[in-house]
Structure 1
Amino acid sequence: MEPEFPLAGELAAVFAGTSGLLLSAEAVHTALRLITSVAVETFPNNAGAGVTLLDPDGVLITAAATDAQVERADALQYERGRGPCMTAWEEHRVVHVPDVTRDERWPEWSGAVGATGVRAVLSAPLVAGARSLGAIKVYAHEAEVFGAREEHLLTMYAAQAATLLLHLRTAEDARRISDDLKHALRARDVVSLAKGVLMARHGVSERTAFLMLADSARDKGATIGQTAERLIAPRPGG
């Protein structure tokens, strides 16, 4: 009996391949490359696959693509503000274009992408819970190569891929917050130590020591943290 989700094993391999990278800056990029590679190997007669995501500024970008033609086909959508991948993302549904030369939903994009050699497109939204992360798509050079089975397959794959990406992003956010907190605590400790040095050196109160740091920072055009770092740094030959 054929499994309900034939890509389960391949996607499990993607998880395994990135499990040791959850706190790495390359984790999401690595996962995206694996996701698009699996898509290319799974869908027959395709011309490449890609993933569209929102960047930190809320702009749609091609975060991963198997080749330059995928990037160009995507760019034509972004330039025109319309297309199958953008519609899949916005409407949270699979969008199938059996033949771009006969599709009338996005005439400007269809005409432009047809000139690149793309004839068919299948795109599914990357939705995890209530979050729409973007869309995954496969292109083809021949019309009518994708059917109902491929639509279902890409829908299931997109759901699992979205869960993976959300997990990686959550881990990356946690790492970034942890790093920011460490930096903040380090800065606080440095300032406290510098105040202690000034209090001992000049016999002043904690408040006066802080004001001395602030005045010095202003005179040097630096932050209080930078001034404190210089104050407590070991002196050459000291």
Structure 2
Amino acid sequence: MDQLTPVEELSLVVARSAGAMMAPGTVEATLRLLVEVVLETVPGADACAVTVLDAVGRGSTSVASDELAARADELQYDAGEGPCLDAVARRGRTLVDDARTDVRWPRWAVGVDALGLRSVLSSPLVAGDAVLGAVKVYSRAPHAFDARSERLLALYAAQAAVLQAALRAAERGRHLSAELRGALRSRDVVNTARGVLVERERVDERTALAVLAAQAEESGRPLHVVARAVVDAAARRRP
């Protein structure tokens, strides 16, 4: 079999990883591989980073190739402007040929020039209708990125979007499972407390549940908390 190119190797890793319930560490490791491949294959790239959005749309750097990329990202978050945030907002690639002459984000441009960076190319992470973040490359040279750079970065952004979408789906599944377990535990303790009242007060199950609900409303406590108190009290009275 012919040796795989870096792009093919990365695509294979992502395809295998995204098919499983992914832990955050797995995603981070694969994103680090993506960043390494970006630096190896995108001409002119001196640094690379991946931004992800949280549930309310705030960006943070998930993986950065080095401290330079991390600091360049922080400049955008602090200023509230920059090519990465623009790519996210427009759902399209954003190119800065020379930060010294680009007038779109003046606060960001001052900071990034101080870092010695001149060119930036950002591509959004798009999965379905959702924008999950962006991947971007930085260069110390002006006019460092061309049409080939844009095509390659778009490919890598697609891979990163698959990873982030898989991670979020896994996290939602874990969250729902935890909620379900909690609901089942609450139901069990309420049913047990109802049985205690049926036996102790000689009432039917509907009346017992009404008694628990009344106690919960009167005390301002959740129903399962009141039920747990009834069950614990009954346990203490047992010889």
**Fold similarity call, TM over 0.5:** yes
Task: Say whether the 8 Å CA contact 1:28–1:169 is kept in structure 2.
Answer: no
Which residue pairs with 2:127 in the alignment?
128
AA matched with 1:71: A
Are 1:11 and 1:161, in contact at CA under 8 Å, matched by a contact in 2?
no
Number of aligned residue pairs: give it. Answer: 234
Q: Confirm or deny: 8 A CA contact 2:122 2:135 kept in the other structure.
A: yes
Residues 1:223 and 2:225 are matched in the alignment: no
Give me the whole-angstrom Cα distance separating, in 1, the residues matched to 2:26 and 2:197: 45
The answer as to whether partners of 1:21 and 1:27 remain within 8 angstroms in 2 is no
CA distance in 1, matches of 2:106, 2:24: 39
CA distance in 2, matches of 1:80, 1:220: 49
Tell me, in whole angstroms, the C-alpha distance in 2 between the residues paired with 1:206 and 1:128.
50
CA distance in 1, matches of 2:12, 2:231: 51
Per-residue CA deviations over 1:86-111 (Å, capped at 9, x if unaligned) read 12112222222232223232222112
The residue correspondences of 1:143-154 to structure 2 (distance < 5 A) are: 143-154=142-153
Structure 2: which 5+ runs fail to align? Answer: none
Taking the aligned partners of 1:92 and 1:120, their CA distance within structure 2 comes to 20
Q: CA deviation at 1:155?
A: 0.8
Note the C-alpha offset of 1:152.
0.8
* Residue in 2 that maps onto 1:89: 88
- d(CA) in 2 for partners of 1:103, 1:39: 24
Q: Percent identity?
A: 41
Counterpart AA for 1:146: F
User: What TM-score, normalized to structure 1?
Assistant: 0.81
| Greater shift in the superposed pair: 136-145 or 221-230 | 221-230
For residue 84 of structure 2, give the secondary structure of its aligned residue in structure 1: helix
C-alpha offsets along residues 198-235 of structure 1, whole Å, 9 cap, x if unaligned?
21122123233234434555677642213323444595
Q: 1:167 to 1:7 in 2, by over 3 A?
A: same
After TM superposition, the structure 1 stretch with the greater mean CA deviation from structure 2, 60-69 or 129-138, is 60-69
RMSD: 3.1
User: Cα gap change, 1:37/1:199 in structure 2, threshold over 3 Å: closer, same or farther?
Assistant: farther
Taking structure 2 as the reference length, the TM-score comes to 0.80
Structure 1 match to 2:59: 60
Structure 1: tracts of 5 or more residues without a match: none
C-alpha separation in 1, matches of 2:182 and 2:221: 17
1:13 aligned residue: 13
Query: CA-to-partner distance for each residue in 1:11-59, whole Å, 9 max, x for gaps?
Result: 322443565542x355554544443343334435534322222211222
Q: Which moved more, 1:174-183 or 1:33-42?
A: 33-42
Contact 1:31 1:165 (8 Å CA) reproduced: no
Quote the Cα distance in structure 1 between the aligned partners of 2:108 and 2:179.
43
Which residue of 2 is the match for residue 198 of structure 1? 197
Q: 1:90-144 CA distances to partner (integer Å, 9 max, x unpaired)? A: 2222222232223232222112211022222111111122222221111123333
SS in 2 for 1:7: helix
Matched, 1:141 2:140: yes
